[in-house]
Amino acid sequence: MLFTPENIYRQYLLCRRNKRNATSALAFEYRQEENLQTLREELKSRTYIPSRSVCFFTERPKLREIFAAEFRDRVVHHVLVDYLERIWEPLFIHDSYACRREKGVHRGVQRLQQFIRQATANGSRPAWYLQLDIRSYFVGIDHDILFRIINDRLPADADDVRWLARTLIFHPCAADPIIQGDAGLIDKLPPHKSLFFAPAGKGLPIGNLTCQFFANVYLNRLGQFV
């Protein structure tokens, strides 16, 4: 089951693997057993509500806003994504490399080099490529469409998964975040690239595991079409 003690603890261990020294992770670990039990009870009773996100800005390679979830929310993200990956990973096209296990930038580069060698006959003939980008992709993701895509693949008895997906997708993380760093950078970010100016019902925050996974799900149909 989704909210068993064993599953939540397993996802907690995965979550803290690269966050062991983070302040929120250390605070959670200080009362680990109590915190995990409380989190499980909230999930089982469906009283769980995501905490306020921490918003900060990075300027490299370009200016963008990041919304970092509290550690306890990251554990919940792992719980949901672990379940959904079993459904969606077999459906994704092979050449989708962002934020997937056994994929990533280096694998993508190797695959691109392979295609270049094939298309050019090892550099003996010209070839062409088409580079496309979706303008303000994360800010433009529609919550209703995303939830419908995910819900269509869920088993009829997956009510806990359905509730948790809805809770995370529709959570307005930009409504009341904790701002860290130079808040003045908000004014330097184009409105169409900021969740603070996104239309109601649209936009996912960059910086969360769920959002990276949801982005792949949302674009899967386009990948299949191409």
pLDDT tens for each residue of 137-182: 999 999 999 999 999 999 999 999 999 999 999 999 999 899 998 8
User: Would you state the pLDDT for residue 119?
Assistant: 95
Instruction: Decide if pLDDT at 183 tops 90.
Output: no
For residues 112-135, average pLDDT: 94
Instruction: Decide if pLDDT at 1 tops 90.
Output: no
Q: Locate 25 and state its tokens.
A: 């992770």
d(CA 35, CA 38): 5
State pLDDT tens for residues 44-67: 999 999 999 999 998 888 899 999
For residues 26-49, average pLDDT: 96
Instruction: Decide if pLDDT at 224 tops 90.
Output: yes
For residues 29-33, average pLDDT: 93
Instruction: Decide if pLDDT at 184 tops 90.
Output: no
Using pLDDT thresholds of 50, 70 and 90, give the confidence band for residue 211.
Answer: very high
Q: What is the pTM of this model?
A: 0.91
What residues contact 72, with CB distance under 8 A and at least 6 apart? 24, 28, 35, 39, 51
User: Would you state the pLDDT for residue 90?
Assistant: 95
State pLDDT tens for residues 192-209: 899 999 999 999 998 899
Instruction: Decide if pLDDT at 130 tops 80.
Output: yes
Using pLDDT thresholds of 50, 70 and 90, give the confidence band for residue 120.
Answer: very high
